[in-house]
């Protein structure tokens, strides 16, 4: 009787177990992910600054890139600081409200990024396949509406998860086998039916991932077909394809691990595998995105040199 009462006690906090099998490597992982986090803040902050300050980057492509970099700053900040604390001090407590807030912002920013990458693919499609009408189609008003639609879609999707999760009853076991409050580990701890939550995860979340991914694939199929049909020179083809490589690299860095974690076949995946894959898109990808754009994009490199030149040599021309 007493045991039954204990097991029905409402949970008001959770314990994030983090990466449980790295006990002897905690300090190594702390330093590694701290450097990744600082790189993400510095790199993405630099891109946001360049897009705001440099007139040559005030185009639809860089407007969306600025949104992406802003997203990545917040995206990594939602999870990485708590993970770093876990590396130093072990298992981390988090309140029920704090857990719901982390769940909400993680899915809000992640869903927004998925939709925003599809918007960026559409921008590349219009720029390459319909260049004469590009400035008319991708007007400042259109770009703003597309950005607002991306952020709004992510917010609505995350609100559905956080509201429905807040209605669940948690009792007894409160250990989360993860370094942040993700939806699947939380559902595993509920002591009531989670069928509606699982339907939301399998239908809505899968759609948020697969629909933008499908649109990205279709955009690049059209781009490839257009380039091979309309552009005769190898140099011209390479120049057009090179404008897409940075975006395609970022799509691969985000979508490959996300598809592994959130599409229905992943339902039987192990908690340990989910944690390892989550590290990729929550900590590693936001740090790599600025490198991908600055290393492969001449305009971004030139803008960065101009800004650094003004800061280092303020009296120079």
CATH classification number, 13-312, choose in 1.10.3720.10, 3.40.50.300, 1.10.10.10, 1.20.1070.10: 1.20.1070.10
Q: Which pLDDT does position 147 carry in this prediction?
A: 97
From the list 51, 208, 220, 243, the residue with the least C-alpha distance to 114 is 208
Domain ranges of the chain: 13-312
Q: Which pLDDT does position 126 carry in this prediction?
A: 94
Tell me how far apart the alpha carbons of residues 82 and 181 are, in angstroms, rounded to a whole number. Answer: 10
Per-residue pLDDT in tens (0 to 9) along the chain, 317 residues: 333 434 455 678 888 887 766 667 788 889 999 999 999 999 999 899 888 988 888 899 999 999 999 999 999 999 999 889 888 887 888 999 999 999 999 999 999 999 999 999 999 999 999 999 999 999 999 999 999 999 999 999 999 999 999 988 888 788 888 888 988 888 888 888 888 888 888 888 788 888 999 999 999 999 988 888 887 777 777 877 777 888 888 888 888 888 888 776 554 466 677 787 888 888 889 998 888 877 667 777 777 777 766 655 565 54
Q: Which pLDDT does position 32 carry in this prediction?
A: 92
- To the question of pTM greater than 0.75 for the whole model, the response is yes
């Amino acid at each position: 009787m007493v045991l039954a009462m204990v097991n029905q006690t409402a949970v008001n906090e959770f314990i994030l177990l983090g990466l449980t099998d790295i006990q002897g490597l905690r300090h190594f992982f702390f330093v590694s992910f701290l450097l990744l986090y600082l790189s993400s803040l510095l790199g993405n902050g630099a891109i946001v600054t360049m897009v705001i300050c440099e007139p040559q980057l005030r185009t639809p492509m860089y407007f969306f890139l600025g949104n992406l970099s802003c997203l990545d700053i917040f995206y990594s900040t939602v999870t990485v600081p708590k993970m770093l604390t876990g590396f130093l001090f072990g298992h981390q407590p988090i309140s029920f409200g704090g857990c719901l807030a982390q769940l909400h912002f993680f899915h809000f920013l992640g869903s927004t990024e998925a939709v925003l990458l599809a918007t960026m693919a559409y921008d590349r499609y219009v720029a390459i396949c319909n260049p004469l009408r590009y400035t008319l189609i991708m007007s400042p008003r259109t770009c703003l509406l597309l950005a607002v639609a991306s952020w709004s879609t992510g917010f609505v999707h995350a609100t559905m998860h956080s509201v429905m999760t807040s209605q669940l009853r948690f009792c007894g076991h409160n250990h989360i086998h993860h370094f942040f409050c993700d939806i699947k580990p939380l559902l595993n701890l509920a002591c009531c039916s989670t069928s509606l939550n699982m339907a939301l995860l399998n239908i809505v979340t899968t759609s948020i991932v697969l629909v933008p991914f499908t649109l990205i694939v279709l955009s690049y199929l059209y781009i490839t077909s257009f380039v091979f049909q309309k552009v005769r020179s190898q140099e011209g083809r390479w120049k057009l394809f090179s404008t897409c490589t940075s975006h395609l690299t970022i799509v691969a860095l985000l979508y490959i691990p996300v598809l592994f974690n959130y599409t229905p076949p992943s339902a039987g995946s192990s908690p340990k595998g989910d944690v390892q894959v989550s590290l990729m898109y929550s900590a590693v990808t936001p740090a790599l995105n600025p490198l991908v754009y600055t290393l492969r994009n001449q305009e971004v490199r030139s803008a960065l040199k101009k800004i650094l030149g003004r800061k280092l040599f303020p009296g120079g021309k």
